[in-house]
Structures are given as C-alpha cells and as structure tokens.
Amino acid sequence: MDNISNQFSQILGGYLPHLVGALAILVLGWLAARLVAAIVCGVLRRTNLDNKLAYWIMGETLAVEAGVARELREWV
C-alpha cells in the first residue's frame, strides 16, 4: 500500500507545477479579458464613434455600447 501511495505522490508531484501554472494562466487570462471588456465599454460610452458607425451602416442611431457591453460580458 505504501508503494502505491509513493508512486501516486511522485506522479502527482510531477504534474502539480504544470497544473498550477495552467490554472494561473487561465485565471490571469480571464481577468485580462474582463479588463479589456470594461475598457472597451467605457471607451464606447465616452465616444460617438460607435453611434456614427451604426448610423452609417443601419441608417439609424442605436445604443451600440449597451449591446457590445452585454456581449462582452457574456463572452468573458
């Protein structure tokens, strides 16, 4: 029984640093995506560029920043 537990701890010990590193990359990437989404939403609220593009494409003014913000939040 001790032999099995020693083998298990050796195998787990070899993969644990990679698992922790992958988890850290996942969490940091998610946080970075949330930050970028918040920045994009803030920029869209402060400018009229999105409204001008919507008017140019659709022929009417739309609340683009609300839709983009919602999509970014769902995506992230």
- Predicted pLDDT of residue 76: 61
- Predicted pLDDT of residue 53: 78
- Predicted pLDDT of residue 29: 93
Q: What is the pLDDT of residues 6-42, one digit of tens each?
A: 887 787 777 888 889 999 999 999 899 888 888 888 8
Nearest to 50 by CA among 39, 36, 40: 40
**Mean pLDDT for the chain overall:** 80
Residues 6+ apart with CB under 8 A from 50: 44, 64, 65, 68
